[in-house]
Structures are given as structure tokens and as C-alpha cells.
Amino acid sequence: MSHPTEPAPRTALLLAFDFLPARSPGAAIRSSKLAQHLPEFGWNPLVLSRDEGLPGPEPIAGVIRLRNPVPTRLSYQLAAAAWASKACNHARKLAQSTPFSIIYVTCPPFPLAPAALALGRDLALPVVVDFRDAWALDPYAGGGLLKEAAQKALCRWVYPPFEANLFRHAHALLMNTPSMEREYRRIYPAAADRMHHVPNGFDETAFTDCPHCGGPAVPVVGGQ
């Protein structure tokens, strides 16, 4: 009599411009922690992220770093678009030997999202888009009158068609805040059942050595 076997883990492709260790850790933590815990739920993460030339070991196995063709100091959005194109081309080659079951992309930067959608279409895979911030709804205004005017023009005339296409075709859309989810549900009611509020949280295992969090006390050098 044969014994039931556990299903083989599936592979999730994660596209993350920032991934720990990163110069922008705030943007990297959410996706890095997701990748760290995916194996607990039967998924193997395969991460494509930007190579910033930082020392130190990778936080998990299965991280591939790709150099950015365009320096971010020239244009952050242009650099993100160039990297997204490079990463998706690399993913198409990887798919020939490593089958993926799903594509996850975290934004901003937002040029990654349309590129991931095109990749999902080419590979016939569902795409999950994680909105850490809003896109065309971006309420940020600052940096001087010219920059503020440019941002308003982009959010009003340039971003909405790309955003609408994303909400039409993405398999799932994750929202960081309740207000973002409410507003996007109002604008794109047809996609409401694919929107999910996934707030930021914390990893308890990251605080096991914190004396103020119930973990073992850390000795103070020279103290009493």
C-alpha cells in the first residue's frame, strides 16, 4: 500500500527592484520577508533583484542579482524601466529550464508592473501585483513647483492607462493600506474581487534577541 506524499513545492518568481540587503531597506523588507516564509506554504521563491554591489550573504537561497543598465542617479523611472526589461528577458530564459507557477511583482517602482504583466502573458502565468504605494493615485506633492506639476501631469495623463490595464489583467492586487484599497475599489469596481488588503507587519523571529521584546538579554559591555 502506497503512502500519500506531500505535493512537490511550486516555484514563485519574485521581481523586486530592492531586496535585502539593499540601500533602501524599507522598500526591500516586505518582499524579502515574503520570500523567506514562502517555503512554509509549499512555495520555492526565485527572486530577481537589482545588483547594488553590496557585500554580505543573500538572505535566502534562490536570489539572482542583475546589474541595472541605467544608473538611478540619471533617472529613477528610466532606470527601473530598463532593469524591468532586462529582468523579464532573463526570466524568459530561466523559464526554459525552471518552470514557474506564478509571478509576483512589488511596486514602486511601477515600470516593473507592466513588464511583469507582459511576462505573465508570454508564459501564460498569473501575475500578483503588490502595491506598497499607490500609482496614479499618488498624493505626494513636493520638490518644487516644476516637479510637483510634472508629478500631477503624469498621474493625470500618463499613468492611468497603464494602471487601468494592470487592474484589468492582473490575477491579484495587494494593497498596503485600507484607504488605498477603498479608493482603488471605487475606481476599478470590476477588479474589486481581486483586490486584497495586506498590511505591513513584523517578523517575530527578528526580535528573539531583543531584551525589551521577551528575548534573551544582551550583555552590556562595561555595564553592571
Per-residue pLDDT reduced to its tens digit, 181-206: 999 999 999 999 999 999 988 877 77
d(CA 118, CA 99): 17
pLDDT tens, position by position, 92-109: 999 999 999 999 999 999
Q: What radius of gyration do the chain's Cα atoms show?
A: 20
Please state the rounded mean pLDDT for residues 156-171: 95
Lookup: cell for 54:
553590496
CATH architecture of 10-207: 3-Layer(aba) Sandwich (3.40)
Residue 151's pLDDT band (boundaries 50, 70, 90)? confident
CA distances from 137 to 17, 28, 162 (A): 21, 22, 13
pLDDT score recorded for residue 213: 60
Q: Is the dihedral of CA 165, 167, 168, 169 positive or negative?
A: positive
**Are the beta carbons of 128 and 172 closer than 8 angstroms?**
yes
pLDDT score recorded for residue 56: 82
Residue 210's pLDDT band (boundaries 50, 70, 90)? low
Say whether pTM exceeds 0.75: yes
Choice between 64 and 8, residue whose per-residue pLDDT is larger: 64
Say whether pLDDT at 218 is over 90: no
Residue 80's pLDDT band (boundaries 50, 70, 90)? very high
